[in-house]
């Protein structure tokens, strides 16, 4: 993230604030030339995340549903990341049966949510990622039996 500078007025006093770093865990801020590290709890974002309504996503009903997203390659019963991104949601567990075309996880890439679907029917043998993980293109996400 590129550093962002702000001027805030609080109770008629002006503060020069520079956001040096901002992540899911913390923010590093410089306020009037003094640096502070602030955790999410301090920002009140943890509560905001908890109150966010759950995502409602339609389940694929057939092969025509798949035309909106690029098919994801399964080589040797491995579901791989089609592009670099962040794992937002995993919709299967080890031992689950999956059908060809079934959404198995959601990958955020370039600020867009991408449904990653299985191209094969099988049983989930191993999930190699967890929600919040960053992955590179071609990384193995899930293996099937």
- Predicted confidence band of residue 24 (pLDDT cuts 50, 70, 90): low
pTM of the model: 0.49
Q: Is residue 61 part of a domain?
A: no
* Statement to judge: residues 77 and 127 lie in one domain: yes
Q: Would you say residue 67 lies in a domain?
A: no
One domain for residues 21 and 76? no
CA–CA separation, 101 and 99 (whole Å): 6
Q: Which residue has the tokens 């509560």?
A: 47
For the chain, the domain total comes to 2
What's the pLDDT score for residue 71?
46
Residues 31 and 87 in one domain: no
Is the Cα dihedral 19, 22, 25, 28 positive or negative?
negative
E strand or H helix that includes residue 30: strand 26-31
Identify whether residues 44 and 80 lie together within a single domain.
no
């Amino acid at each position: 993230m590129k550093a962002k500078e702000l001027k805030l007025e609080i109770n008629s006093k002006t503060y020069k604030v520079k956001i040096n770093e901002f992540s899911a865990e913390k923010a590093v801020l410089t306020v009037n030339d003094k640096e502070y590290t602030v955790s999410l709890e301090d920002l009140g974002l943890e509560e905001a995340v908890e109150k966010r309504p759950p995502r409602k996503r339609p389940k694929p009903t057939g092969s025509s549903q798949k035309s909106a997203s690029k098919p994801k390659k399964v080589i040797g019963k491995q579901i791989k990341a089609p592009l670099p991104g962040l794992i937002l949601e995993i919709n299967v567990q080890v031992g689950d049966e999956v059908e060809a075309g079934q959404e198995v996880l959601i990958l955020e890439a370039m600020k867009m949510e991408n449904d990653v679907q299985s191209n094969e029917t099988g049983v989930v043998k191993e999930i190699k990622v967890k929600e919040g993980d960053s992955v590179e293109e071609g990384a193995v996400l899930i293996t099937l039996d």
